[in-house]
Amino acid sequence: MSDAKHTPGEWEARGTMVVTPPRAVTDEFFAACRRGEKPEPITSRRICLADPSPYVTESEAEANARLIAAAPNLFSACKALIDAPHHEHFATRLNDQEMAAVDAIRAAVAKAESR
């Protein structure tokens, strides 16, 4: 992955809320507790709430939550594409529309990384 500072792991949408899925309790979790460590929480952690409003319907808010929940996966996929070995070599074979898509991906990654 990258040096992104977002909440790591998978995210999922539950209605209009975006959360990390709950983790299973494992032997390693209990062993970490016995060692006095603070393991990752078992319960879900809320990432955000896509509230409906007078300007955003409930179904639109749920769709926004699904899009937000997909963000870590989309970010990783975009980073993998632009960080791939030989990416620049293959870029010379792209048509204008495909190159515009690659440029849009680069811009989106830069925006996510606050560059």
The residue extents of the domains of the chain are 12-112
Checking if the pLDDT of 5 tops 90, the result is no
pLDDT > 90: what percent of the chain? 41
pLDDT for position 4:
53
- 75 vs 92, residue with greater confidence: 75
- How many alpha carbons fall within 13 Å on the CB side of residue 35? 9
pLDDT for position 1:
42
Contacts of 57 (CB under 8 A, 6+ apart): none
pLDDT > 70: what percent of the chain? 89
The whole-model pTM stands at 0.72
How do residues 11-54 score in pLDDT, each as one tens digit? Answer: 999 999 999 888 766 777 778 888 988 777 677 788 899 998 99
Question: Whole-number mean pLDDT of the chain?
Answer: 84
